[in-house]
Amino acid sequence: MTKLHELTQLGQSIWYDNIRRALLDSGELQALLVDGVMGVTSNPSIFEKAIGGSSDYDTAIKALAGSTQTDEQIYESLALEDIQRTADLLRPIYEATRGVDGYISLEVSPALAHDTAGAIADARRLFAALNRPNVMIKVPATPAGIPAIETLIGEGINVNVTLIFSLAHYEAVAAAYLAGLEKLSVNGGDLSRVASVASFFISRVDTAVDDRLADLGHTELQGKIGIANAKVAYGRFQQIFSGNRWQALAEKGARVQRPLWASTGSKNPAYPDTLYVDQLIGPNTVNTVPPATLTAFRNHGTVAGPRRWAPFWPKHRRSWYS
Contacts of 268 (CB under 8 A, 6+ apart): 203, 206, 207, 210, 223
Domain boundaries, the chain: 3-14+98-317
Positions annotated as catalytic residues are 138
Rounded distance between C-alpha atoms, residue 81 and residue 76, angstroms? 8
- Find the radius of gyration of the CA atoms of the chain: 19
Check: CB of residue 48 under 8 Å from CB of residue 19. no
pLDDT at 307: 52
Widest pairwise Cα distance in the chain: 64
* Yes or no: domain 3-14+98-317 corresponds to CATH 3.40.1360.10: no
pLDDT at 65: 86
Check the CA dihedral 241-15-162-277 and report its sign.
Answer: positive
pLDDT at 203: 95
Closest of 110, 155, 157, 153 to residue 131, by C-alpha: 157
pLDDT digits (tens), the chain, 322 positions: 999 999 999 999 999 999 999 999 999 999 999 999 999 999 999 999 999 999 999 999 988 887 888 989 999 999 999 999 999 999 999 999 999 999 999 999 999 999 999 999 999 999 999 999 999 999 999 999 999 999 999 999 999 999 999 999 999 999 999 999 999 999 999 999 999 999 999 999 999 999 999 999 999 999 999 999 999 999 999 999 998 999 999 999 999 999 999 999 999 999 999 999 999 999 999 999 999 999 999 999 999 865 543 333 333 323 222 2
DSSP state of 313: S
Closest of 255, 309, 297, 306 to residue 15, by C-alpha: 297
Check: CB of residue 36 under 8 Å from CB of residue 2. yes
Q: Which runs of consecutive H residues, i.e. helices, occur in the chain?
A: 3-9, 21-26, 28-35, 44-52, 58-65, 71-96, 116-130, 145-154, 167-186, 203-215, 225-240, 244-250, 275-278, 291-300
Rounded distance between C-alpha atoms, residue 169 and residue 150, angstroms? 14
Rounded distance between C-alpha atoms, residue 316 and residue 173, angstroms? 23
CA dihedral 113, 125, 38, 168 (to 10 degrees): 30
